[in-house]
Amino acid sequence: MVDDWRTDRIGAALRGENPMVLQRLEAGFAVIGDVQFLPGYSVLLADEPGAQRLSDLPRGKRLAFLSDMDRLGEAVERACRRLDSAFRRVNLEILGNTDPFLHAHVFPRFEWEPPELVGKPVWLYPPDRWSDERYRLGPEHDTLRREIGGELDRLRGGAPPGMT
């Protein structure tokens, strides 16, 4: 089946079979989100398939995961700010309420969002945003993928903003 990687996203990333992977980071994988109703939505997957929560990792690996989350968040912020003048900020979340593996969500937020949702958690968006085909990642997001990947490359050395 073409989408087998969806049932084991981390294992597929470790095997090089997850097509959503933007880049391998120190403690995980930066991946573009399956849905893009907020263009630039990305996820950091831990590279430890058995880890369900941050506390399942040894302290050094926890810090590396959090550092990776920061790097992915900054890459999404830089790319989205450059591509959309209505960019506002990035929200970072480690939840773990649905998927039983350690991951962090990186949500860009924009001024063009509905007024009743722009200042609220993304999870209050209607459920169809997660399932409607019009919000699915597609070829129209290739530039966004490249931009986020390029920012991840520039941030690899830890250069301060404006120095890359």
Predicted confidence pLDDT, tens digits, the chain (164 residues): 456 888 889 999 999 999 999 999 999 999 999 999 999 999 999 999 999 999 999 999 999 999 999 999 999 999 999 999 999 999 999 998 888 899 999 999 999 999 999 999 999 999 999 999 999 999 999 999 999 999 999 998 754 444 44
* Cα(147)–Cα(145) distance, integer angstroms: 5
Which spans in the chain are helix H?
A: 9-14, 59-83, 128-131, 142-155
Summary count for the chain: helices (H), strands (E):
4, 5
Q: How crowded is the C-beta side of 72, counted as CA atoms within 13 Å?
A: 35
Three-class secondary structure of residue 130 per DSSP:
helix
pLDDT for position 6: 81
Domains of the chain (ranges; CATH) run 4-155 (3.30.428.10)
- Please report the pLDDT score of residue 134 as a whole number: 93
